Amino acid sequence: MTCIAKFNKLSADMFDEGKQRTWFDFSEVMGVVQLGGTLKMNQFYVDAYAQQSSTASGDPNNETLVENGIDSYLSQDADFDRSEYSFLIGYQLSQLSLFGGYRYQQTEIEESLENPPTVTGKTRGPDTWDINIDSRGYFFGANYLVPIEFNSSFVLSGTIGFFEHDYENAYTQDFGGSGPFSKSEMLFDVEADDVIELGLGLTYIRKLNHQLDLKVLGQLNYYTFDENIDLKSRGDDGVISAGAIDFEADELNFQLRVGLDYHF
């Protein structure tokens, strides 16, 4: 079992006819619990884990609009959580191991923005964003073992991943009232293929006894991409086209893991 503190910096910007709108910009620290296991067969090994974060709350700076050099900002609340699943197969040499695997992760963001009353005094409900980010793909990497004492060592690791990202944002704008035009819904759907993710890691391993190891790991991962996307609006006549924008996203996350490995 492994307990993890993860720092996530996740951001996305939209550019439309010279206007820049920050879709979301998180910088949060979350607690994460991970369960997994490794099966070794001579020089081959199979590793799998499931990971679930706590829910982080904060201000994602979603409504920053840059137009003609002027910034306008509206504060709002958001909840952010992530689940992750990974499976890999590796081959162990003397101090070097090579591996490849598949990873899936899902990020859910729920945001709300309280609106002030209109100029006529009409009460407006909150605008809401329901954002789902699905990432899936293959990764490959290598570990290199550096012994430092008879019962402890460091492991250096590097990975490269090739992922598909699917961003869905259901945005609801509340104009107040209860008529057929009191709310507007827009669906943003972004699919990005061949997104390259790079990772670096350093692990300290200390054998406590013949069956139990203490592991402390620091892992850094980063990706970025730029896509031109079509917008879709959802109304009484179904989903219709609502123009196109340029979409940029990146993510930097750092994990600090402390865990115990038990050898059967």
Q: Where are the domains of the chain?
A: 2-257
Q: Which residues contact 9 (CB under 8 A, 6 or more apart)?
A: 26, 27, 251, 252, 253
Residue 238, pLDDT score:
57
Q: Which residues pair with 73 in a beta bridge?
A: 64
Alpha-carbon Rg for the chain in angstroms: 22
Dist. CA 169–CA 1, nearest whole Å: 34
Structure tokens at 228: 């031109």
Name the residue with tokens 């996530």: 8
Dist. CA 186–CA 78, nearest whole Å: 19
Residue 16, pLDDT score:
56
List pLDDT tens digits, range 93-151: 989 999 999 999 998 888 777 766 666 666 677 778 788 889 999 999 999 999 998 88
Low-confidence ranges of the chain (pLDDT < 70): 1-6, 13-24, 58-77, 115-123, 175-182, 228-245
Residue 69, pLDDT score:
47
List pLDDT tens digits, range 231-248: 655 555 555 555 666 777
Q: Which residues contact 179 (CB under 8 A, 6 or more apart)?
A: none
Residue 80, pLDDT score:
80
Residue 104, pLDDT score:
96
Which of 132, 131, 159 lies closest to 143 in space, CA to CA? 159
Distance from the first to the final alpha carbon of the chain: 14
Phi, psi (deg, nearest 5) at residue 25: -150, 90
Instruction: Please report the beta strands in the chain, taking only residues with DSSP state E, as ranges in sequence order.
Output: 2-16, 19-41, 44-53, 56-58, 63-67, 70-74, 77-92, 96-113, 127-149, 152-174, 183-207, 212-235, 238-262
Q: 2-257 maps to which CATH number?
A: 2.40.128
Long-range pairs for 208-211: beta carbons < 8 A, 24 or more residues apart: 210/263, 211/262, 211/263, 211/264
